[in-house]
């Protein structure tokens, strides 16, 4: 008996907001297969709490958001990419709203309620209560699940990309698909697609103490590396500075939005300390806050 095979026009590895948004965009042009390592909801997206930074207030500006981002990135960010992401932010929010995502509004329900987070000089954080990621994933997943051209494959763990030399250019490699382990059937399935999109997230779970979910083990990065892709910036692992820790239980994130609304970080004897490290105090960028806590 041969290895089962699934053929599609677009193969998406990963079912977070990035993978599902790509699936929805291309589903109008062909059949889409979405591989989910666990349940489709089990990824980093749904654990995001505080919100999304974007410029929608008349008191804010794209230039201010760009500068805040460059400062938080210690000047290492690609400014062209930063400007693209910042300028497209409002449009992406509108797209999420059109898919059914509901962000909190102020008391008169006319304008979005904007929060404050570290590294930002203005209130520009849209949120859905304290479960923004879960709300976004709910809306996007429900649309993807209903789309006739999208098929979800839960509990399919991608093992390795299927590659071959590009005809006429033997020094280059093209991706044909992926081998994946169907954990429920205990068999390897071959997925073949005209286009393969890696949307597998990061590798934060390689660390013992992290706010990342258990599925964030860097599979996609490793597969891309084995297939010959250039891997860059692996040293930039962000550690969220505030989690609820218990030695016998899994840590979970305490949203940065709490500090945006006035929460303070204190030493064991009740003394504030962040101003010793940064004039922005608790609203310094996350890497600054994390290092201060660890000092």
- Residue in 95, 123, 280, 286 annotated catalytic: 286
Specify whether 286 is catalytic.
yes
- The answer to whether residues 79 and 87 touch, using CB atoms and an 8 Å cutoff, is no
- Is 284 buried (19+), middle (13-18) or exposed (0-12) by CB count in 10 A? buried
182's enclosing H/E stretch is: strand 169-182
Number of residues that this document lists for the chain: 295
Contacts for 218 with CB less than 8 Å, ≥ 6 apart: 200, 202, 203, 205, 206
- What is the spatial distance between Cα 121 and Cα 106, in angstroms, rounded to a whole number? 20
Phi, psi of 9, deg, nearest 5? -85, -40
- Tell which residue, 251, 242, 241, has the closest CA to residue 287: 241
- Residue 235: DSSP 8-state: T
Q: Which residues pair with 12 in a beta bridge?
A: 34, 197
Please give the angle made by the CA atoms of 158, 164 and 169, to the nearest 5 degrees. Answer: 140
Please give the full DSSP string across 117-137, using - where no structure is assigned: -TT-SS--EE-STT-HHHHHH
**b/e map 235-267, b = 16+ CB within 10 Å:** eeeebbbbeeeeeeeebebbbbbbbbeeeeeee
Please give the full DSSP string across 187-230, using - where no structure is assigned: EEEEEEEEEEEE-----GGGSSS-SS-TT-S-HHHHHHHHTT--
Task: Give catalytic residue positions.
Answer: 286
């Amino acid at each position: 008996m041969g290895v089962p095979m699934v053929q599609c026009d677009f193969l998406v590895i990963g079912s977070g907001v990035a993978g599902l948004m790509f699936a929805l965009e291309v589903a109008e042009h062909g059949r889409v297969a979405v591989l989910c390592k666990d349940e489709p909801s089990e990824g980093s997206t749904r654990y995001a709490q505080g919100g999304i930074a974007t410029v929608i207030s008349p008191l804010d500006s794209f230039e201010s958001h760009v500068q805040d981002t460059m400062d938080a990135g210690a000047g290492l960010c690609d400014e062209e990419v930063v400007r693209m992401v910042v300028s497209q932010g409002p449009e992406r929010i509108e797209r999420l709203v059109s898919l059914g995502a509901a962000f909190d509004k102020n008391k008169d329900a006319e304008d979005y309620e904007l929060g404050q987070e570290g590294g930002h000089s203005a209130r520009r954080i849209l949120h859905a209560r304290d479960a923004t990621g879960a709300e976004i994933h709910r809306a996007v997943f429900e649309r993807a699940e209903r789309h006739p051209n999208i098929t979800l494959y839960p509990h399919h763990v991608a093992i390795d990309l299927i590659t071959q030399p590009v005809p006429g250019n033997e020094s280059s490699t093209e991706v044909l698909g992926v081998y994946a382990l169907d954990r429920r059937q205990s068999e390897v399935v071959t997925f073949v697609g005209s286009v393969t999109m890696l949307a597998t997230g990061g590798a934060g779970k390689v660390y013992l103490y992290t706010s990342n979910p258990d599925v964030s083990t860097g599979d996609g990065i490793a597969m891309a590396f084995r297939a010959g892709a250039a891997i860059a910036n692996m040293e930039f692992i962000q550690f969220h500075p505030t989690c609820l820790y218990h030695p016998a239980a899994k840590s979970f994130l305490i949203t940065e939005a709490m500090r945006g609304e006035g929460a303070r970080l204190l030493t064991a004897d009740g003394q504030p300390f962040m101003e010793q490290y940064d004039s922005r105090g608790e609203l310094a960028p996350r890497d600054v806050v994390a290092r201060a806590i660890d000092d």
